[in-house]
Structure 1
Amino acid sequence: MLSKSCVYGLRASLYLASKDEDEFTPIKIMSEKLEISFHFLTKILQQLTADGLLESFKGPKGGVKLTKPGSKIALIDVVLAIDGPRLLTECVLGLPGCGLKNPCPLHDKWAVTRDSIRVMLQNTTLKDLAEKGKLENLRLTEDGDFEELLRDQ
């Protein structure tokens, strides 16, 4: 449902939310830690920067950081910046014009699910998930947990 770019953007944003707010993180380090191609991650981070969610700084101490605390950035902000509103507006079967007047067979069920997803994305912040990840030592990569990711910077 979410594009690969969006999934990686969420992972990168969660990683940044778990770091010191004033610290720029080099993209190369993020790429290695999150096991995401450097060039692909760079393009994703450019989208988040263009949308005002990240700030970038070039140079030897450069990198990226969130523009505001993770408690002020909801998951929906990241999703909309990368994938746009399609998850929350388009027909699950991909039929144009699907709506109350001309619904597809899944319209009613998808509308309820879509609204639940929207509420969850709006009500969950990066800080919420970063704290949960650290507290419960959850995974942010295939094999790596938060504790491992934040070690050896």
Structure 2
Amino acid sequence: MSRLPTLVLRWLLLSLVWWSLTDGDASGLVFGAAAGLLVAWISLVLFPPSLHVIRLRALPGFVLFFLSRSLLAAIDVSRRLLSPSLPVTPGYLRAELSLPEGVPRWLLANTLSLLPGTLSVTLQGDEIELHCLDLTQPVRQDFEYTQVRVAALFGVTPDQREVGG
């Protein structure tokens, strides 16, 4: 997608958010439109258009995956942290990425950080480093499954490289 249509799309989405936050009050539309255009332009500089676009028909499945994983992980983390014995084994996990560079990797890192129990620490080259609440759990398998779900969202096939650790 070229820069101008991306700028217009982002500006329209930000304007829609502004309009909804102001309950459609017309007195703030000029300011909201100007602020939206500025933020859209800054987002274009920081996050240029990508060759990888989210497939809309894959989005509901990804949202369902994310919400269900978030709920289950939040229950697990709460159970652990409320337990008097605090059954956690924190540590770091390094894994090789098989997603293409750019937006797919960025979304994977942010998705993993939003799921309770993992936090993306670094995303450098073909590797990601995660801080994990409990390394005795199948964190690597969860990482791989999340990577597959992100790949499906973008309609890309993760390559078959061995994941390091």
The TM-score normalised by the length of structure 1 is 0.32
Whose strand proportion is higher, 1 or 2?
Answer: 2
- Decide which structure has the larger Cα Rg and report it: 2
The TM-score normalised by the length of structure 2 is 0.31
Higher relative contact order (CA 8 A, sep 6+): 1
